[in-house]
Amino acid sequence: MKPETEYRYDPETCRFVEIEETPVDKVRRYTWVGGLALLLAGVLALAMDAELIRTPTEQALQSENKVLQDQLERASGELEVLSEEIDELAERDEELYRTLLQVEPISDDVRQVGVGGNDQYASFDRFEEDTATLLRETESLLDEMEREVGLQSASYRELVRYAEQREDRLAQLPVLRPVNGDVVSGYGYRTDPILGVRRMHGGVDFVTRVGTPVVASADGVVLESTYSNSYGNYVDIRHPETGYITRYAHLSEAEDGIRAGTQVKRGELIAYTGNSGRSTGPHLHYEVRNEDEETLNPIDFFLPDMTPQAYISLASQDEQHDLHDHHDAEQTLSMME
């Protein structure tokens, strides 16, 4: 009896009879074996695709990468919003601040510095396409924002410097009348009251009583406080931010402490009127000179109706307002504590 041969028992003959396999049976057997093989191969492929053969470390890394990519996408969106806000600041810088302070705008060449050149982000190409694209866009946006923030910071520092200079310059413009009194002799050519000849009068004369307070017409530094035969007792104040020098002449005396190098504020008492030097009566002679020692018409600088009393009253109101604001701020802080 052959082991690979199948037999069946025939009860009629009481013998084992060899079973002959028909062609149909062979096809059925081969089909069953092939189908089983294909089924096993499919199960194995599904197992691999379902990460049944991946290690826990690999699965954790894949999950971590997905989280990081999601965070990177959110960060990229937030950076775009910040970039738009920086653009708004730059626009306000150009259209408002630089216009008000009369500062030249930043050129497009300066704003575009550092843009272009070699591919700085080629190292991202080793990642898959979507990740590489996201990394490129985010890094490029970060670089652009860093450049714009640096430029805007430098611009604001420049504007602050210009604002401070402008504030100092405004404070040093000789716009305040130095004394209470009427102008009896203006700027220009006139007949000299003592010499009797026509000559240039380089300032304006205010008629006053002797001893009338004289104040600085602007912030500055005392250049000299001295005496001359023509001007009598006089005080010169330099206003460096504007380049002007103001002169207060025919004084009876200077205020204590008014000497060369003394810093004075607009409206500060510097002297008293008198009749010293070449003068025919009590008055204040007041001049404004430029850096070339050329006299200018003081009337062109005066603010209308801005007398020393009006200025002192206005300054006092501002000081009271500041004290009131300070008091309110202290009350607010105490309530918050």
The residue segments making up the domain with residue 297 are 182-306
Instruction: Supply the DSSP symbol for 290.
Output: -
Q: Is residue 320 part of a domain?
A: no
Q: Does residue 191 or residue 169 have the better pLDDT? A: 169
Write the pLDDT tens digit of every residue in 69-80: 666 677 767 777
| Residues 200 and 154 reside in one and the same domain | no
pLDDT level of residue 39 (50, 70, 90 thresholds):
low
From the number of C-beta atoms within 10 Å of its C-beta (0-12, 13-18, 19+), residue 231 rates as: buried
Q: In the chain, what percentage of residues exceed pLDDT 70?
A: 56
Last residue of a domain, one of 106, 139, 171: 171
What is the pLDDT at residue 1?
A: 45
- 46-50: average pLDDT: 57
Q: Is the pLDDT of residue 170 over 70?
A: yes
In a domain, 323, yes or no: no
| Mean pLDDT, the chain, integer | 75
The answer to whether residues 118 and 111 touch, using CB atoms and an 8 Å cutoff, is: no
Rg (alpha carbons) of the chain, rounded to whole number:
48
CB-based contact 245:214 (threshold 8 Å): no
- What is the model's pTM? 0.52
Strand partners, 296: 288
Whole-angstrom CA distances from 172 to 157, 258, 267, 295 are: 23, 18, 11, 17
Q: What is the pLDDT of residue 329?
A: 41
Q: Are residues 213 and 151 in the same domain?
A: no
Counting the structural domains of the chain, the total is: 3
Residue 33: pLDDT band by 50, 70, 90 thresholds?
low
- The whole-number pLDDT of residue 320 equals 58
Residue 214: which of 266, 155, 150 has the closest Cα? 266
Per cent of the chain over pLDDT 90 is: 29
88 in the same domain as 35: no
> Mean pLDDT across the stretch 186-214?
82
Residue 318 lies in a domain: no
pLDDT in tens, 15-30: 666 666 666 555 566 5
